[in-house]
Structure 1
Amino acid sequence: MSHYTTASIIRRSKILIVAMAALFGLMTLANNFTDYTAYSEYIGQILSMSHTEGNESRRYRAISSPMFHHRFYWAIITLETIFTFSFLVGTYQLWRKLAAPRKDFHEAKKFAIIGFSSALFTYQTLYVIILNEWFDMEYSAQRNAFEWARNNIEYMFLGLIYLLVAKDG
């Protein structure tokens, strides 16, 4: 495959999209581990609804257990580790199959698909559904990661669509 064909450029762009998602995952994990206390407290404040304004009728949902806060945060870290590892492996596999026949390049997308799917699960389920909808994160002026999660969902969803839909030779 010539280095300057449209198909080879599309393949490289797919590798780049997956590599950027892997870099995002690595940076997120670095933040989570190097400033564990701050992020753990952040999640704990959302779960305990300590900064939630209004909606007093839903305060029964608050969970004030520090042990639960840490476990929930570790669930986030675990899922972020899974999708980061999947993106790293997916980037490597796609790079290895850059000049391979179309079927082989398509088969190399497996880990990237797992990465995008698990990232979507992480941000949609843990942040949007649980933290935002159940624990009213959106009603906190100080502790609101809804836009951040939504931006991640948009990138991951568009990356998954592009990886699967655009013809790659």
Structure 2
Amino acid sequence: MNYRTTDQIIRYSKVILMTYISFFGLIVMYSNFTDYPSNYEYMSHILSMDTTRDNPNLSYRAITSPMLHHRIYWLIITLEVIYTGLCLLGTYYLFRNINASADAFHEAKKFSIIGLLVAIFVYYICIQVIGVEWFNMDESQTWNAKDWARHIVDFILPLLIYVAIRIER
């Protein structure tokens, strides 16, 4: 009852894993659009640094303008929409080329790879690097997404490597 080869299973696994990250992106987008106030409050506290240790040497980094909070939050939402759209498109192209030649399947990975790179930018650069290192998010007892973002990057980075690597024949 062995209907699929290992190469076919590998191709399907790449499509399925891209579907998972696309679904995650859709859920995050839904949350940001339907619960804007709660997510905005989170961004506002992180950017204001009002729940971290009061350190005069670091407090100059705080952004206290609500207008800038909204703009930065909308930038994050826009990046999430972009990565989700690219991952969905990438999933579609991978699925469409599931039985194509190895070269065609490999070329179909473009949107998936770009989408995953944008996702890494959002969750690693924006949240872990800027949020934690610049705005000291990790010091907040209430508004700390360091571990949440790390878990996402821990999924996305290996997925990027797995999708990008050319192991299909």
Ranges in structure 2 where 5+ consecutive residues have no aligned partner: none
Q: Which residue of 1 aligns with 2:44?
A: 44
Aligned partner of 1:82 in structure 2 is 82
Letter in 2 for 1:8: Q
Deviation at 1:7, TM superposition (A): 0.3
Separation of aligned partners in 2, 1:136 and 1:149:
14
- Aligned counterpart, 1:157: 157
CA RMSD of aligned residues (A): 1.3
| CA apart distance, 1:63 | 1.0
How much identity, in percent, do the aligned residues show? 45
State the Cα distance separating 1:164 from its structure 2 match: 1.7
Q: Deviations over 1:47-98 (max 9, x none)?
A: 0011112544211211110000001101110000000000110111000000
* C-alpha contact (below 8 Å) 1:3/1:9 kept by paired residues: no
2:92 corresponds in structure 1 to 92
**Partner letter of residue 158 of structure 1?**
P
Q: Report how many aligned residue pairs link the two structures.
A: 168
Q: Extract structure 1 runs of 4+ deviating beyond 6 A.
A: none
Matched with 1:126 is 126
| 8 Å contact from structure 2 (residues 19, 88) kept in 1 | yes
TM-score, length basis structure 2: 0.95
Alignment-derived partner of residue 62 in structure 2: 62
Match of 1:7?
A: 7
In 1, Cα distance between equivalents of 2:47 and 2:57: 16
Give me the whole-angstrom Cα distance separating, in 1, the residues matched to 2:72 and 2:102: 41
CA contact (8 A) 1:11 1:168 kept: yes
Alignment correspondent of 2:103: 103
- Retained in 1: the 8 A contact 2:91–2:112? yes
Partner letter of residue 60 of structure 1?
Y
CA contact (8 A) 2:106 2:166 kept: no
Tell me: CA distance 1:130–1:35, structure 2 relative to 1, closer, same or farther (3 Å): same
Give the counterpart letter for 2:32 in structure 1. Answer: N
The TM-score normalised by the length of structure 1 is 0.95
1:2-25 per-position Cα deviation (integer Å, ceiling 9, x unaligned): 951000000000001111010000
- Once residues 20 and 152 of structure 1 are traced to their aligned partners in structure 2, the CA distance between those partners, rounded to angstroms, is 12
